Amino acid sequence: MLVLALRSVRQRPGRFLATLLSAFLGAAIVMAFNSLHDTAGAPGVDAVSSETLRTAAGVVGGYGTLLVFFAVASTLTVNVRQRAAELELLRCSGATPGQIRRMVVSEALAVALVGTAAAVLPAVLGGRLLVELFQDTGQVAASVDHSFGAVALSSGVGVTLVASAGAALLALRRVTRGRRRTVRRRSWLAWAALAAGAVAASSTFAFSATDEMLMAFPAQGAILLSVGFALLAPRLLSGVLGRLALGGASGWLAVRNLRRRAGELSGILMALILFTAVSTATLTMQAVESDEVAASGMVKSVDAKTLETLNYTVVGIIVAFVCVMLVNSLYAATTYRGREFGQQRLAGATPGQVLGVVGVEGLVLTVVGLLFGTLAALAGIVPFTVVRGDAVLPEQLAGVWAAVATVGAAATVGTSLFTARRVLRIPAVRAVGASA
Amino acid sequence: MVRNRARHDPRTEPAAEALRLVKVTKSYGTAESTVTALDGVTLGLARGTFTAVMGPSGSGKSTLLQCAAGLERPDAGIVRVDGTELTGAGETELTRFRRGRVGFVFQQYNLLETLTVAQNTVLPLKLAGRRVDRRRATEILTAVGLGDRLGHLPDQLSGGQRQRVAIARALVAEPRVIFADEPTGALDTRSARDVLALLREAVRVHGRTVVMVTHDPVAASWADSVLFLADGRLAGRMDAPTADAVAERLAHLGDDAPVGV
Ligand SMILES: Nc1ncnc2c1ncn2[C@@H]1O[C@H](COP(=O)(O)OP(=O)(O)OP(=O)(O)O)[C@@H](O)[C@H]1O
Ligand SMILES: [Mg+2]
């Protein structure tokens, strides 16, 4: 099975590219931040510097682990789903479920190892950059030297491998097992997340404008709400699509495709909702906070600075990951549709009409994702600005939202159209025959 | 460019010759390993005829149909459908041309998984921006024995049922020329007969031209004439075929052009 796994990776390296990229990015981030632990642990580092370094490593390291898991899980699910037929064939030719599991997990581990190995050098450079960043803002003493050691390496390898193996098992279960149980558990989780988010967002009102912790609650609230919405994504999408009627052959086909594929597409919608909510909420609140501090003429404390740096870093990482997930899921999903596009063309669709279908689908996804993401973000932003300033909606919101929406729309619609164009280069009869 | 005397308007008078191929050649593969699927095929089919194409597996039947329908581009030669030359047109142009003139029933079923039987059937009309006559679609689906399955999805149908949806889809657009690649390949004798009757009705009653690839001498005997293909070349023609004569001829064909099965 291991031989089979390695051969399948070698023969179709393209299919593992996204998983590799997720593992690589994940390992790089985890190692870069965990190298701050190594740096803080080195002899002769003062207490304040050590504290800052460890906080940063702890916060982002935790987020990073989660993100690696989600990103690898998402890319692997796409990968396993694409190969459902191949795996079924293996099963029919006598492979036991255990053998198939071992094969898929071995593949995931092999890819994770390669990704981690490639991530070491970028992680060393990234860690050095982080230390310099903290030194520039005076949060870490200039005498501190970056060091990359055991903690960074072991956590990088450990987190990536464990996440990949776990994600592979999860992906296999998702693809091979029925959905019923998970759906129920998922909606239970979704409501819990929404409730917790609502509580967190409203507890903002219990704080005063100058509290250090003020931003934490609305931010967590927005994130939890967006997780809730994301978990409900398949249902939200079906709900919207049930009411949607678009004109033209392309619109007609797009709505029907989306309805039937709501389950598959929910991964993409999830990524969009999380991306919109987290980046809009965090960036807007941070901008409000910075402007308020600047207006009051106070000098920022080291803690406030650390918080700001962390906020931006976390958002940066989340955005990068979600973009990778989004682009990969869409790329894979669209590539996989070559046969379907071929069928549309053979039924009399011009390439332009096929692109129209894909474009409308992307647009609908974007609008739904932005809608619920923005809703979650607003649930955090409004309490925060009411307490911190006097307005209900901060003026910084418009700019941030426009930027976020542009990136989200460009990633979704752009990836779909770009991939579809490539797929359409294959003649229709062959596209249809190839996977038959 | 699609050079045509008849323009793209399907309401113009049909040409007397439905299909003309002149020295059509098509090979697949790379420089090192090429397979010549069609080797200088020249043929002409009059309007309102029912023609069967037969030959061993791999002899180029599907390729012939695909080149004739403008779905594959020949390496050399001329293809003229309903008086319009297809050679050298872009995909969009070819698609627009095909919509009004050409129907195709494929060896694989090629139904869209996300659409129901009824939706799949009217899809070509929708895509062409033509008026969708649901009553007519239901009529044709009933004729192929699927009147009670309009709301089903393709994966809820058997292989033969899917094949029949594909045939209904090709008929609904009322094309001048219908290409069918083993339309009865997955059907039992009775459904096969129904399908063949439909195709023959399209020819006799509606004056359409049907070209059908088949391996079955009985199916071929429904046609007005049979073209035999071996190794990418035309290897004979039989008018007013009977099942026995066709089977006989096929066996003989196997002698000249052995296939490595
Ligand atoms: N897309 C392709 N790429 C490479 N070779 C091809 C392709 N399509 C067909 N061929 C080759 O061209 C030859 C003719 O194929 P074709 O499909 O036309 O045969 P056929 O007569 O329809 O056979 P069958 O009765 O099995 O359907 C075969 O040798 C086949 O291997
Ligand atoms: Mg064939």
How far CA A267 is from CA of A71, A324, B227, B251, in Å, comes to 11, 13, 52, 56
Q: Is any Cβ of chain A less than 8 angstroms from the Cβ of B149?
A: no
* ipTM value: 0.80
**pLDDT recorded at residue A117:** 93
Is residue B257 predicted with pLDDT exceeding 50?
A: no
**Rounded to the nearest whole angstrom, what is the distance from the C-alpha of residue B209 to the centroid of ligand 2?**
20
Structure tokens at A141: 């003493």
| A256-274 mean pLDDT | 81
B26 vs A contacts (CB less than 8 Å): none
For residue B192, the model assigns a pLDDT of 86
Structural domains present in chain B: 15-251 (3.40.50.300)
Question: Residues A191-215: pLDDT tens digits?
Answer: 988 999 888 888 888 877 777 667 7
Q: Is A343's CB within 8 Å of B91's CB?
A: no
Residue whose entry in the numeric block shows the structure tokens 């006598």? A94
Average pLDDT, integer, range A397-406: 92
- Digit-coded pLDDT (tens) for B33-50: 888 999 999 999 999 999
Domain extents in chain A: 1-178, 181-436
- In this prediction, residue A308 has a pLDDT band, given cuts at 50, 70 and 90, of confident
Sheet strands side by side (includes B17-29): B3-4, B84-85, B76-81, B17-29, B34-46
Q: Which of residues 69-98 of B touch A (CB under 8 A)?
A: 71-73, 91-92, 95-96, 98
* B114 interface with A at CB cutoff 8 Å: yes
Please choose from B34, B62, B259 the residue to mutate so as to test ligand 1's pocket, defined by most ligand atoms within 8 A of CB.
B62
HSE at residue A297, side-chain half, CA atoms within 13 A, is: 0
What residues line ligand 1, using a CB cutoff of 6 Å?
A 430; B 28-29, 35, 37, 55, 57-63
| The pLDDT of residue A340 | 86
Task: Convert A129-153 to b/e letters by CB count within 10 Å (16 or more is b).
Answer: ebbeebbeeebbeeebebbbeebbb
By the 8 A CB rule, do A340 and B113 touch? yes
| Element holding B93 (H helix, E strand) | helix B91-101
Q: Do the Cβ atoms of A346 and B110 come within 8 Å? A: yes
Please report residues of A whose CB lies closer than 8 A to that of B180.
none
pLDDT, one tens digit per residue, over B203-232 is 998 889 999 999 999 999 999 999 999 999
Give how far A221 is from chain B: nearest CA, Å. 38
Q: Where are the beta strands (DSSP E) in A162-239?
A: none
Chain A residues inside the 8 Å CB shell of B129: 249
The answer to whether A259 faces chain B, any CB pair under 8 Å, is yes
Mutate to test the interface with B, among A250, A259, A346, A361 (most CBs of B within 10 A): A346
Q: How close, in Å, is residue B123 to chain A by CA atoms? A: 7
**Lateral strand order in the sheet of B233-239:** B102-105, B177-181, B209-213, B50-54, B225-230, B233-239
